[in-house]
């Protein structure tokens, strides 16, 4: 992304310095009345294998709360900022039935099924095009289906601040204050001089987006104080988003507009199957956010995690005085800082082990060094090479 500190091409793209007072607070209620939320629900969470698999990806699993999946928890959070009738889930055909069962409060029309995975770019763009047809003045937020948030009040505050920034014609992302050097996350470089402030916090310009760094670089980022974790939470006016999409991803904009025009008609399936495979497989981060000159960020501390692997999940689960997180019938002696997860009735006995992961399912067993948890996806790749897709 070119540094957004460069002069914008026209005045409407500038982030204006505004002190938001009670007037903006009063306006927020009317803003949220046309606030729509989109939940991209894709991927298979391969780094949480063997529990997360293609047929039962992590967003459908109850990983943090025993009786609520990550998808359901996402909807629960969004109820505080968005009316249920303005929620939309985008998922693939293999998961549509499960999504519908888990979210009976949503109408069939609120579950948008993409024919095949094409990345978050086309998925979010299709949702935006469909929302624009119903509400051209809508403000839209996109929130991943498989993340966890501990501090609900801080999440709500960040979204409210982002809505105000979106009303200034910005593409807004919520960045997470890093708590440690993390190589599994992307980073946002931000200008610490606020572009403007709101009752819900300061809004800053984005200088650049950075892909997942090595540990030395991640450590330098955290120590500098100039970088935030990229949580893939986005808020914008749907009209501004579509305008930027036409500029930076014109083929995606044209394609999803054509699909949206046919949506709900007898031609919907034919047009979708004709257009969708031609769209580029690209993330919204790479395709748009890294290139647009209208990007702003709301820094937040909300106890966020993308639960990217077993180590990350272990940081969210309850642990004993030795730092062990255990779910299942486990007996341990002299073990510290380990994660044990069992979906079987077998007793697991651990002796004298440090910083390991043990995951036991009826047809697969994972044993790994917790510091190498990111490499679990290599096992899934190897199983596919061996044509053992029944385990993936």
Q: DSSP states of 154-190 as a string?
A: HHHHHHHHHHHHHTTT-EEEEEEPPSS--TTS-EEEE
Q: Where are the alpha helices (DSSP H) in 263-324?
A: 268-275, 284, 310-316
Q: Distance (Å, rounded) from C-alpha 63 to C-alpha 144?
A: 15
User: For the whole prediction, is pTM greater than 0.85?
Assistant: yes
CA 225 – CA 60 distance, rounded (Å): 35
Integer Cα distance of 252 and 287 in angstroms: 10
Is-contact 81 35, C-beta < 8 A? Answer: yes
Residue 163, φ and ψ in degrees, nearest 5:
-65, -45
Domain with CATH 3.90.550.10 in the chain: 11-305
pLDDT at position 193, please?
Answer: 75
* CA-based radius of gyration for the chain: 21
Spatial separation of the C-alpha atoms in residues 242 and 122, rounded to whole Å: 12
Top CATH class of 11-305 equals alpha beta
* Helix ranges, the chain (H): 22-33, 70-78, 96-102, 120-134, 152-166, 215-224, 238-248, 250-262, 268-275, 284, 310-316, 376-385
44, 96, 275, 277 from 114: Cα distances, Å: 15, 10, 11, 10
Note whether 200 and 161 are within 8 A (CB). yes
Angle, CA of 277, 134 and 20, to the nearest 5°: 110
Q: Tell me the pLDDT of the chain (392 aa) as tens digits.
A: 333 333 333 333 333 333 333 344 444 555 568 999 999 998 878 999 999 999 999 999 999 988 999 999 999 999 999 999 999 999 999 999 999 999 999 999 999 999 999 999 999 999 999 999 999 999 999 999 999 999 999 999 999 999 999 999 999 999 999 999 988 899 999 987 777 777 787 889 999 999 889 999 999 999 999 999 999 999 999 999 999 999 999 999 999 999 999 999 999 999 999 999 999 999 999 999 999 999 999 999 999 999 999 999 999 999 999 999 999 999 989 999 999 999 999 999 999 999 999 999 999 999 999 999 989 999 999 999 999 999 99
Cα separation, 384 vs 373, whole angstroms: 19
CA separation for the pair 76, 106 (Å, rounded): 12
């Amino acid at each position: 992304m070119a540094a957004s500190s460069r002069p914008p091409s026209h005045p409407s793209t500038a982030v204006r310095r505004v002190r938001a007072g009670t007037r903006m607070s009063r306006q927020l209620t009317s803003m949220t009345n046309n606030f729509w939320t989109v939940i991209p629900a894709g991927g298979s969470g391969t780094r949480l294998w063997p529990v997360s698999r293609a047929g039962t990806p992590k967003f459908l699993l109850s990983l943090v709360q025993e009786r609520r999946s990550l998808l359901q928890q996402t909807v629960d959070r969004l109820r505080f900022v968005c009316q249920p009738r303005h929620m939309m889930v985008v998922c693939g055909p293999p998961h549509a039935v499960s999504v519908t069962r888990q979210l009976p409060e949503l109408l069939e029309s609120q579950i948008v099924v993409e024919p095949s995975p094409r990345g978050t770019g086309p998925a979010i763009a299709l949702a935006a095009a469909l929302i624009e047809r119903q509400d051209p003045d809508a403000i839209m937020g996109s929130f991943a289906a498989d993340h966890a948030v501990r501090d609900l009040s801080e999440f709500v505050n960040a979204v409210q601040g982002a809505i105000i920034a979106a009303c200034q014609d910005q593409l807004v992302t919520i960045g997470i204050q890093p708590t440690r050097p993390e190589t599994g996350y992307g980073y946002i470089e931000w200008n610490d001089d606020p572009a403007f402030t709101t009752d819900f916090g300061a809004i800053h310009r984005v200088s650049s987006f950075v892909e997942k760094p090595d540990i030395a670089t991640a450590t330098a980022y955290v120590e500098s104080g100039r970088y935030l974790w990229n949580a893939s939470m986005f808020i914008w006016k749907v009209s501004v988003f579509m305008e930027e999409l036409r500029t930076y991803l014109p083929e995606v904009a044209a394609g999803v507009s054509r699909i949206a025009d046919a949506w709900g008609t007898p031609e919907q399936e034919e047009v979708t199957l004709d257009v969708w495979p031609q769209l580029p497989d690209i993330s919204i981060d790479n395709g748009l956010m890294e290139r647009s000159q209208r990007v702003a960020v709301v820094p937040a501390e909300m106890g966020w995690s993308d639960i990217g692997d077993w180590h990350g999940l272990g940081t969210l689960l309850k642990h004993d005085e030795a730092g062990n997180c255990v779910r299942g019938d486990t007996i341990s002696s002299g073990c510290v800082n380990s994660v044990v997860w069992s979906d079987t009735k077998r007793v697991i006995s651990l002796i004298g082990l440090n910083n390991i992961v043990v995951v036991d399912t009826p047809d697969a067993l994972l044993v790994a060094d917790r510091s190498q948890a990111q490499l679990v996806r290599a096992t899934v790749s190897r199983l596919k090479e061996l044509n053992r897709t029944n385990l993936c």
